[in-house]
Structure 1
Amino acid sequence: MIENRKDDHIRIASEQNVEEGNNLFNEVHFIHIALPEIDFDEVNTSITIFNKKLSFPFIIGAMTGGTETAEKINTTLAKCAEEFNIGMYVGSQRIAIVKPETARSFRIVAENAPTALKIANLGAPQVSRLDEKILVDWVSQAIDMINADAIAIHLNPAQEVFQPEGEPWFRGVIDKLRFIKKIANRPLIVKEVGNGISMEVARILASRVNPDAIDVAGIGGTSFIRIESIRAGAIDEANVFSGWGIPTAIAICEVRNVYDGVIIASGGIRSGLDGAKAMAIGANAFSMSRPLLLAALKGFDETKKFIGKLLREFKIAMFLTGSRNVNELNNAPVVFGQTIISWLGQRNVSCKHVSASK
């Protein structure tokens, strides 16, 4: 049953070591500004994205929905999103569309976060098999269910091919993305789930779909290859493909090299400093999931404490780089380590901080 799978994901992600790879933010170094010429209280962390003003450029990552446990988690996360005035993805909403009795686990997000930025979520393999009439209905239901301000379609080929019940169906996805962009009447986000988006994929998306945002979701955080392999009892396969994908810091550079829209950074971001580094190398916002899952399982107070800590870390990074606002942070100087420099050189990727070597 799909409900059992959702609870399996929560249990495995919260109880086992499912984080893999290096997002390479350890190779992104800010230049310390000893004379910032601003007071800490002057630092303005706010941004506007999809016509919503956020207190800082953070979006709670896509996690769950469809079960009683998921409903409790989503309630806590939504309350925090509203209190902090930040964004929130929901997990894949297919379960609520095919099993309407589970929809409340998503609807409570709208109830508890009426003014926050809310992002609906459907899977690319599933929408690839829907005719246009049914797809219009799915998109409409997903948006209406949470009163969404935007809709995300997640690309998860690695997860699907390792999942016991997987549906690794990706033929025709580009055409369906174009159709969703046309009919959704909301910003369209195309996102990965932890293996990264490359320059080649970003170029195709930019030229053929023109999404409003790309969430790079690189490696360095939760691995759905690992989670699904644990569920399938196929750990040897997971070991073979351990670390498969594109490190998050590099994915930001690859996507930014060919795409001018909004970039959301996710994949192993574990602090406000990581988020600030992501912003400095090309992202417009950042997101994380597993740390919020672990906090939400402990309750509202723990989740609120974690997000408050994240905000303070982000603001400190801005202050120590002399950034009065997020626009100045976007232009803060950084130095890259050799792995990033080598990768960008071999891929002939120009970053705003490093030109590709010839």
Structure 2
Amino acid sequence: MTKDRKLDHIQLAFDSQTGFAEQDQRFIYEPMLAAHPNDEENSFLFLGKMIRAPFWVSSMTGGTGVAEKINKNIAQACREFGFGMGLGSCRKILFDKTHWADFDMRDTIGPDQPLWANLGIAQIEKLLQEKNEKAIIDLVGGLRADGLIVHVNPLQEWFQPEGDHIERPPLETITHLMERIHIPLIVKEVGQGMGEDSLKRLLELPLAAIEFAAYGGTNFSNLELMREDPATQEMYQPFAFVGQTAYQMVKTVNRLLQQMGEPRCRQLIISGGVKSYLDGYHLTSLSQLPAVYGMASAVLKHATGDYRELQTYLKNQLKAFRLAQQYLKLNPEYDGT
């Protein structure tokens, strides 16, 4: 009732006041130029498939007791809402199919959404040394995946008590892999992002996409360091605060495009520290390359239980994203501070 609503307004007026310190300086709010969003979806081509939302569920889990349920919930959501999924590290199922069901998501996600397998650079390096690239081909083919994500994680491997020793620069291994097999590749970091030189070299390769996994989100190097003994933690802890944010990386890629012209890799997955739909909208709008955004930990939080919880979360995220598209423009004076 109108009377009740007006009473609510009086009671909430003081609590709803906003301060200048909380103002989101990334955007200019333009209320005069658009109607409310409708339910129409704006599909676009990404990774060779039509997706209905600029969203990506970044690689997370597999080979644990609850992984199959989590991945099935995520794959079902990707199918319903029309976005892509990167599997967690598939190392466990390279030569042992015990946990295959945790990763075998093609039937759940359907044929039309991107589904990508995932292996670490250390495993790729070892398989190439053994001239066993067939194991990679069989993995991607067996999962009916669209390609392979290579996660580059030198700090994680160094800090991990059971970690592998990386013998060659990852770029050399990736280049070697592309010479030996013809499978689409995405290259990503694992929570600290990449600097300008690394990004430039990757943009020069015919990759399907680069995923940032930038500083500010789940940091797998720091995660492994937390499993170490106290003396080792104390020695290496400063590395936990090294890296590049997603905003810094988008700005770096945009600057590199001005310098190098047309890159061979022309798609980005912006992840790492993306906490909300406004972060995703800001970063994908800022990018001069076609981009989607990923929110791994937020999705994982809602994917462990009943599917309806994840469904509701993603429905609300996408509804709010479309509202941002209607009314928010990038502030050209924003400098990241």
- Under TM normalisation by the shorter chain, which class is it? 0.7 to 0.9
Quote the Cα distance in structure 2 between the aligned partners of 1:189 and 1:320: 33
Q: Which residue of 1 aligns with 2:323?
A: 316
Whether 1:88 and 2:85 are equivalent positions in the alignment is: yes
1:248 equivalenced with 2:246 (yes/no): yes
Question: More displaced, 167-176 or 83-92?
Answer: 167-176
- Which of 249, 268, 272 is 1:267 aligned to? 272
Distance 1:196 1:168, change over 3 A: farther
Q: Percent identity?
A: 27
Work out whether residues 54 and 293 of structure 2, in 8 Å CA contact, stay in contact via their aligned partners in 1: yes
Question: Shift of the alpha carbon at 1:183?
Answer: 5.3
* Distance change in 2, residues 1:31/1:161 (3 Å): same
Structure-2 separation of matches of 1:149 and 1:77: 17
Given that 2:116 and 2:146 are in contact with CA atoms closer than 8 Å, whether structure 1 keeps it comes out as yes
TM-score, normalised to structure 2's length? 0.82
1:305 Cα deviation (Å)?
1.4
Alpha-carbon RMSD across the aligned residues, in angstroms, is 2.4
Matches within 5 A, 1:1-358: 29-41=26-38, 44-107=41-104, 109-115=105-111, 116-131=113-128, 134-169=131-166, 171-182=168-179, 184-207=181-204, 209-234=205-230, 235-237=233-235, 239-258=237-256, 260=263, 261-282=266-287, 284-321=291-328, 332-337=330-335, 339=337
Residues 137-189 of structure 1 deviation map (CA, whole Å, 9 limit, x = unaligned) = 13212312321123211111121111111124051532332243355544321
| C-alpha distance in structure 1 between counterparts of 2:26 and 2:53, whole Å | 21
Change (3 A) 1:221 1:80: same
The one-letter code of the counterpart of 1:318 is Q
Higher relative contact order (CA 8 A, sep 6+): 1
Q: Which runs of 5+ in 1 are unaligned?
A: 1-25, 323-331, 340-358
- Summarize the Cα distance change of 1:257–1:290 in structure 2 as closer, same or farther, 3 Å threshold: same
Decide whether the 8 Å contact of 2:191 with 2:217 is kept in 1: yes
Q: TM-score, normalised by structure 1?
A: 0.77
Which 4+ runs in 1 deviate beyond 6 A?
Answer: none
Shift of 1:45: 4.1
Does the residue aligned with 2:29 lie in a helix, a strand or coil?
coil
Alpha-carbon shift at residue 46 of structure 1 (Å): 2.9
Find the aligned partners of 1:249 and 1:112 in 2 and give their Cα distance: 33
Larger radius of gyration: 2
How many Å separate the matches in 2 of 1:29 and 1:238? 34
Deviation of 1:40 (Å):
1.7
CA distance 1:253–1:231, shift in 2 (3 Å): same
